[in-house]
Structure 1
Amino acid sequence: MASSQEEITLLGNTLSPYVCMVEIALKLKGVEYKYVEVNLPNKTDLLLKYNPVHKKIPVFVHNGKPIAESLVIVEYIDETWKQNPILPSHPYQRALAHFWSKFIGDKVVDTILKAVFTVDEKESEKNTEETLEALQFLENETKDKFFGGEEVGLVDIAGVFIAFWFPILEEVVGLELLTSHKFPKLYKWSQDLLNHPTVKESLPARDIVSSYFKARYESLSASK
């Protein structure tokens, strides 16, 4: 647990999968923290003070020192609080965890958002195909209950978008990509992750996320 002398603050937004990643890490470690909701796209003075470069959430502030970028924050948390390790101890396994965590952000999160929220149909189809290819790579990598083995690790935390946000996007748009038929191992992993007690308590309300995506998608459709 964090000592009473430590000041730990997380600037975030309920809808953000990146903020959720940090919250999962903190809860896995049993670290107490103060949460400050940032209503985007408004940039609060606190956000501008602590993340003047990117002006994005999440921002993790430990004893007055800010850290940005979700994967960087999760790794910092893992190195600062040693209980319940998130990253493997072996250098090669750590390198693989870094690789696949970044892969999820670059090849799944970015591409599916482009597929859904791109006006150009050909571009949208291209990004959908790239998303399916990325999911197949992850299907091939799914060997244990979690990517971290029997316990939730860095890649699982990075993959919370796939388990929770991805199906909501599919529902809003009418896509069927991550199914038990197409990707049986990855689909089972996603269900196990959603049912993990720490992950479950860190997730936002599904209807709030769904309403947000519906509004964005309808706005985009109206502009076509």
Structure 2
Amino acid sequence: MAEEEVKVFRTWSSPFPLRVIWALKLKGVEFDTVYEDLSNKSPLLLQYNPVHKKVPVLLHNGKPICESLVILEYVDETWKQFPLLPQDPHERAKARFWAKFGDDKVSQSIAYGILFKQGKEQEEEIPRAMEILQHLEEELKGKKFFGGEKIGFVDLALGWLAYYLGIFEEVIGLKLIDQEKFPLLLQWIQEFSTAPIIQENWPPRDKLIAKFAASREAALARGLKQGMVQVFVCHK
């Protein structure tokens, strides 16, 4: 059997390609990494993702797959070892729901609503973010991971939260999750972020803090969303 070509197009700082990298490593799939500069996108990225022109892109035997959650499902269907999605149709549907909830609600509220806002606008968003995070707390009742006793699809989809949330908290000087309100979420953060395959792939913390601090300052100065788009949302 011919050797498979598997490549992941990513940036060093975006959390969303990490979903793909974690999934491939959990399944023991060998792959090459192609780092992109989103201020000067390569012809290959534009060729493989001409619609959104974003990372991540998975290239499998010459065929590109785009959008991180779509890639996760493709990886799970292609390489059967270490299943990410549950076998039960209802549980599988629930996993897709929570993954989409993470993208539509969690990242939108924390990145758009808090990280890139200040003053009254930020204050008004915090209760909404707490309510959204409370849904995750409830979903973790009786479970070690969102996927049960082992890392699964939802854990990978929400995995950025386990590392980037602390970075955002440091950048804005505000604690969003504490032991009293979110004991299960904090436990999940600890369990997930320190799992060997997860931990070894986190980007350097100091560099991320500097990058997001600069991006926040620039975005607030302009009063535009451009800063977040370049740093946090050049993904899917």
- TM-score interval (norm. to shorter): over 0.9
Cα RMSD for the two superposed structures: 1.6
Structure 2: which 5+ runs fail to align? 224-236
Give the match for residue 107 of structure 1.
105
Amino acid at match of 1:191: Q
CA contact (8 A) 2:116 2:216 kept: no
Alignment: residue pair count: 222
Describe how 1:35-184 pairs up with structure 2 within 5 A.
35-119=33-117, 121-143=119-141, 144-184=143-183
> Could you say which residue in structure 2 is the equivalent of 1:30?
28
Q: 1:14 is matched with which residue?
A: 12
- Paired residues of 1:11 and 1:47 also in contact (CA < 8 A): yes
CA deviation map 1:148-203 (0-9, x unaligned): 11110011101112111111001110111122222011111011101111111121
**Corresponding residue for residue 214 of structure 2:** 215
Identity, % of aligned positions: 48
Question: 1:74-118, CA deviations, whole angstroms, 9 ceiling, x for partnerless residues?
Answer: 110011000011110100000000000110111111111112354
Paired residues of 2:115 and 2:168 also in contact (CA < 8 A): no
Q: Distance in 2 between matches of 1:120 and 1:203?
A: 27
Letter in 2 for 1:12: R
Residue 185 (structure 2) aligns with: 186
Determine the C-alpha separation between the residues in 2 that align with 1:4 and 1:163. 38
What secondary structure sits across from 2:109 in the alignment?
Answer: helix
Partner-residue secondary structure (3-state), 2:59: strand
SS at 1:10 equivalent:
strand
Report the TM-score, using the length of structure 2 for normalisation: 0.89
SS of residue paired to 1:15: coil
CA contact (8 A) 2:115 2:172 kept: no
Task: Measure, in 2, the Cα distance between the counterparts of 1:121 and 1:161.
Answer: 25
* Counterpart contact for 2:8–2:58, Cα < 8 Å: yes
8 Å contact kept, 1:115–1:125:
no
What's the CA shift for 1:218? 2.4
In structure 1, runs of 5+ residues without a counterpart are: none
The C-alpha deviation readout for 1:25-82, integer Å capped at 9, x for no partner, is 0000000001000012322111100000000000001011111110110110011000
